[in-house]
Amino acid sequence: MPEDTPNPFTFDIQFGENITLSSYDNHIVRHLSNMRGQFLDSEAYQRMLDEDDRLLYEVYEIHRPEVPGELLHGISIVHPGKVGDEYYMTKGHFHTVLDTAEVYYCLRGRGFMVMENPQGNWSVEPLRPQSVLYVPPCWAHRTVNTSAEEDLVTFFVYPGDAGHDYGSIEKQGYRKLVVERDGTPAIVDNPRWLPPEKR
């Protein structure tokens, strides 16, 4: 065993009005302005942005060395809201090391994980408290909060060297969108999406 092997540690997930971690290394915040081009209704996006650069989601992470044997982990909090009829969501990404997986455990809220792989196959899985979601290697993933008033809070774990590749899915977005239709969430086709052979 190498001499500089890290020491074990413990921390708490604190359940209060907000869910917080008793310790963390990074607090990442993403505002509406960080999501340009992600929501389908670009006019609704611009109208909202002109009013206020709202906070859409936050990540608290326990940073680990970027090596395959480590596990980076933390919580992701997507706040409730919509841009047009599309619910607030994370940017979403492939992992830079494409064949790395991720586990999510839902702590609070309601929503979906929208996923797709480089072949254009898609999957949308529900997230509700106590559900565990496995994102297999090679699947891009995005969290969507479909509640009108509650945060969607998930705990995630992925390999330390995985990294985030936002670029390859940013231009056309995901194959499926999660929007409100007649007061309930609906999974619909993204009109901007093109199959891999047409890109």
Q: Which residue in the set 39, 60, 156, 174 belongs to the binding site for ligand PA5 (CB under 6 A)?
A: 156
**76 lines the binding site for ligand PA5 (CB under 6 A):** yes
Q: Which residue in the set 86, 102, 116, 151 belongs to the binding site for Ni ion (CB under 5 A)?
A: 102
Using CB under 6 A, which residues numbered 120 to 149 contact ligand PA5? 141, 143
Site mask for ligand PA5 (CB under 6 A), range 93-122, x = bound: x--------x--------------------
First vs last C-alpha separation in the chain: 47
Which residue has 């999974």 as its token pair? 187
Helix (H) or strand (E) holding 47: helix 42-51
Rg (CA), the chain: 17
**38 lines the binding site for ligand PA5 (CB under 6 A):** no
Q: Closest Cα partner for 120 from 190, 167, 35?
A: 190
* Residue 155, strand partner residues: 75, 105
Closer residue to ligand PA5, CB minimum distance, 100 or 197: 100
